[in-house]
C-alpha cells in the first residue's frame, strides 16, 4: 500500500468524496455513506480525518476491511504527516473519571443494587438513559420489582440443609446457577469490552449467556470468546428480511449455540421517554448487526436508533420457519392462552416477560403471570414437563426472587440489567462478583427455607395470595427506590 499524507486525506471531506482514517489506514467510504446504519452524518463528522476513536467502541477490528470493497482500501497514512492532537477533556468526562477512581471497592459491593448505584453515577447520561429507561409512565418496570415483595416465604424446618445445591439444568444444559444472563443490547455503551465481559465471566463460572441480536460486539466475537464447552443461547429479533434471519440462525447453529429465544413482544418499539429525551445518538448507539442497514433513526434516543431491525408482523408461520436442531423458546409471553399455543406448537418453552418494562406499560409482571400459566399448562398433562420449560425475567435483584419464581413453577430465571450494571461498573470482575452474590444469597436462603436442592422448591413454600393485589400495602424496596430515576417533564430552555 502507498503512503498517503494527512493533508491529502483532509482534501476529501465532503459527501461527494469522503475519506477516513481507521487504525492508520485510509479508506474511501463515499459509496458507503447512504448504507451506513447510523446515517451518513456520523461518518461525515470525521470526513478527511481520523475516525478510529469513534470506530473502535462499536466495531470489531476487521469490520471496515470486511465490508468495504478492496479498491476502497487506499493506503497507509504517512506517519511523518500526522499531527499530534491534544484531546480536550470535558468537565463531564473529568467528573466521570474522578468518580471511577472513587468507586467503592468490589469488597464493598454486597448486593446487586450496589452495582446499579455505581453504574448510575459513572455512566454517560446517554448510556444510563438507554439502559434504565422503560415505556410510558414506567409503571411496569417498577411493578416488576414490587411483585416479588408481595410473595412471602413459608419456610420448612427440621431438614438437613448442611449441604445445599443450587445447580440446575436449563433446556437440558447444566448451569451452576438457576439463573441465566438475559439478553441486553449495546453493551459497549457502558464498557469498552461490552458483552465480552459477560461471556468471559459466564465461561469461568458455568453460567449460561443469552447472546443479544443487538449486541455491540459481533456475534462471532462473542462466540469466539467462549471457553470450550461453554453453553450459549441466542436471543433473536425476526428481521423484516426473513432471509437475513434464516442465515443468522443457521450460522448460530453452526457455531454451536444451544437454544434460540425468539422475542415476540416487540412488533413496535415502546416509547422510552428517558431515552427519547437524549435526542441525537452518535455512533456508539448503533448495534453491530445493523452495520449494513439504512434508515436508522438517530434523533429520538438510542432505542429508536436500533429499532429498525425487528419485523413488525411475524406470526406463527415465521416461528415454524425457524425450526432447527436448537430448542426454540418464545420470549415475551404474557398469557395462558399464548403459553398453550407455544406448547401445542411443540416448542421447547416460553419466557414470561414484559421486556423489562420497556414495551407495553401496565403489562403485568412475569412472576404474576407465572401462576396462571402453570395452571393452564397442567391441563396438558403432568407438571413439571421435561419437554416444556417456563422461564421468567424482569425485576430480579435477589436470590430470594429466584427461589420464589422457581417455587411457583419456573424452570430458571433470566437476569439482564443487574448483570449489565455489574460490568458497566467493574467489567468482568463485576460480573463474577454478581455471580458470587447470587451464590451467597442462594446458600443462605435455601438453608433458611429448608430446600436442599432446586427440586425441593415447591408451591407450598410460598404465599402468593397477595400477588394479584396491585393496590395495597407492598413493602417498600428502599434500595431499588434509591437508584430509580423518576421521569422528567419537558424543560424550558432558560430558567426564568
Which residues are tagged catalytic? 237, 265, 355
Residue 173 burial by Cβ neighbours in a 10 Å radius (0-12, 13-18, 19+): middle
Q: How far is it, in rounded angstroms, from Cα 55 to Cα 113?
A: 32
Rounded Cα distance, 380 and 346, in Å: 12
- DSSP annotation of 102 reads T
The DSSP line for 437-449 is HHHHHHHHHHHHH
Spell out the SS3 assignment of 56-98.
Answer: HHHCCCCHHHHHCCHHHEEEEECHHHCCCCCCCCCHHHHHHHH
Q: Which three cell numbers stand for residue 271?
A: 416509547
Query: Do residues 326 and 253 make contact, with C-beta atoms less than 8 angstroms apart?
Result: yes
d(CA 389, CA 233): 15
Q: What would the grid cell of residue 293 be? A: 442497514
Can you tell me the distance from the alpha carbon of 162 to that of 423, in angstroms, rounded to the nearest whole number? 33
Residue count (the chain): 496
The dihedrals phi and psi of 126, each to the nearest 5 degrees, come to -65, -45
Cell, residue 328:
426454540
Helix (H) or strand (E) holding 120: helix 112-122
Bridging pattern class, strands 152-153 and 73-77: unpaired
Q: 465 exposed, middle or buried (CB, 10 Å; 0-12, 13-18, 19+)?
A: exposed
Grid cell listed for 32: 458507503
Pairing of the two strands 25-28 and 173-175: unpaired
* 110 vs 90: CA distance, rounded Å: 33
Alpha helices in 123-241 (DSSP H): 125-132, 139-149, 196-205, 219-224
Please name the residues in contact with 237: beta carbons below 8 A apart, sequence gap of 6 or more: 213, 214, 263, 266, 309, 310, 311
Contact 404, 449 (CB under 8 A): no
CA distance 406 to 428: 27
Instruction: Report the DSSP beta bridge partners of residue 262.
Output: 236, 330
Amino acid at each position: 500500500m502507498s503512503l498517503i499524507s494527512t493533508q491529502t486525506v483532509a482534501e476529501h471531506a465532503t459527501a461527494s468524496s469522503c475519506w477516513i482514517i481507521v487504525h492508520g489506514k485510509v479508506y474511501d467510504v463515499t459509496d458507503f455513506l447512504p448504507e451506513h446504519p447510523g446515517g451518513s452524518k456520523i461518518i461525515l463528522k470525521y470526513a478527511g480525518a481520523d475516525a478510529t476513536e469513534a470506530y473502535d467502541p462499536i466495531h470489531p477490528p476487521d469490520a471496515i476491511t470486511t465490508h468495504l470493497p478492496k479498491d476502497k482500501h487506499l493506503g497507509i497514512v504517512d506517519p511523518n504527516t500526522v499531527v499530534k492532537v491534544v484531546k480536550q477533556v470535558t468537565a463531564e468526562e473529568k467528573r466521570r473519571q474522578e468518580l471511577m477512581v472513587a468507586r467503592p471497592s468490589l469488597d464493598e459491593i454486597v448486593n446487586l443494587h450496589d452495582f446499579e448505584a455505581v453504574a448510575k453515577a459513572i455512566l454517560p447520561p446517554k448510556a444510563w438513559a438507554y439502559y434504565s429507561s422503560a415505556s410510558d409512565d414506567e409503571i411496569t418496570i417498577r411493578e416488576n420489582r414490587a411483585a416479588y415483595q408481595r410473595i412471602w416465604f413459608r419456610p420448612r424446618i427440621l431438614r438437613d440443609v448442611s449441604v445445599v445445591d443450587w445447580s440446575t439444568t436449563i433446556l437440558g444444559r447444566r448451569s451452576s446457577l438457576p439463573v441465566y444472563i438475559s439478553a441486553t443490547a449495546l453493551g459497549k455503551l457502558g464498557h469498552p469490552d461490552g458483552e465480552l465481559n459477560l461471556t468471559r465471566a459466564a465461561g469461568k463460572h458455568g453460567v449460561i449467556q443469552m447472546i443479544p441480536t443487538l449486541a455491540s460486539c459481533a456475534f462471532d466475537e462473542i462466540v469466539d470468546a467462549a471457553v470450550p464447552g461453554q453453553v450459549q443461547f441466542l436471543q433473536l429479533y425476526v428481521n423484516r428480511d426473513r432471509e437475513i434471519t434464516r442465515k443468522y440462525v443457521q450460522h448460530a447453529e453452526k457455531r454451536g449455540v444451544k437454544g434460540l429465544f425468539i422475542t415476540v413482544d416487540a412488533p413496535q418499539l415502546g416509547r422510552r421517554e428517558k431515552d427519547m429525551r437524549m435526542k441525537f445518538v452518535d455512533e456508539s448507539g448503533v448495534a453491530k448487526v445493523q452495520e449494513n442497514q439504512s434508515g436508522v433513526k438517530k434523533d429520538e434516543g438510542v432505542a429508536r436508533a436500533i429499532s429498525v431491525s425487528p419485523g413488525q408482523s411475524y406470526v406463527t408461520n415465521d416461528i415454524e420457519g425457524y425450526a432447527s436442531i436448537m430448542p426454540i423458546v418464545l420470549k415475551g409471553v404474557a398469557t395462558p392462552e399464548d403459553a398453550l399455543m407455544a406448547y401445542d406448537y411443540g416448542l421447547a418453552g416460553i419466557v414470561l416477560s414484559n421486556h423489562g418494562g420497556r414495551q407495553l406499560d401496565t403489562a403485568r409482571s412475569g412472576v404474576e403471570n407465572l401462576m396462571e400459566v402453570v395452571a393452564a399448562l397442567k391441563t396438558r398433562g403432568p407438571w413439571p414437563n421435561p419437554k416444556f420449560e417456563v422461564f421468567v425475567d424482569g425485576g430480579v435483584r435477589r436470590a430470594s426472587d429466584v427461589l420464589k419464581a422457581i417455587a411457583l413453577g419456573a424452570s430458571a430465571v433470566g437476569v439482564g440489567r443487574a448483570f449489565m450494571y455489574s460490568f458497566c461498573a467493574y467489567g468482568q470482575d463485576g460480573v463474577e462478583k454478581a455471580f458470587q452474590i447470587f451464590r451467597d444469597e442462594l446458600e443462605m436462603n435455601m438453608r433458611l427455607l429448608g430446600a436442599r436442592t432446586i427440586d425441593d422448591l415447591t408451591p407450598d413454600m410460598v404465599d402468593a395470595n397477595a400477588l394479584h393485589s396491585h393496590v395495597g400495602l407492598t413493602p417498600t424496596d428502599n434500595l431499588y427506590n434509591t437508584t430509580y430515576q423518576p421521569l422528567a417533564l419537558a424543560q424550558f430552555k432558560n430558567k426564568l
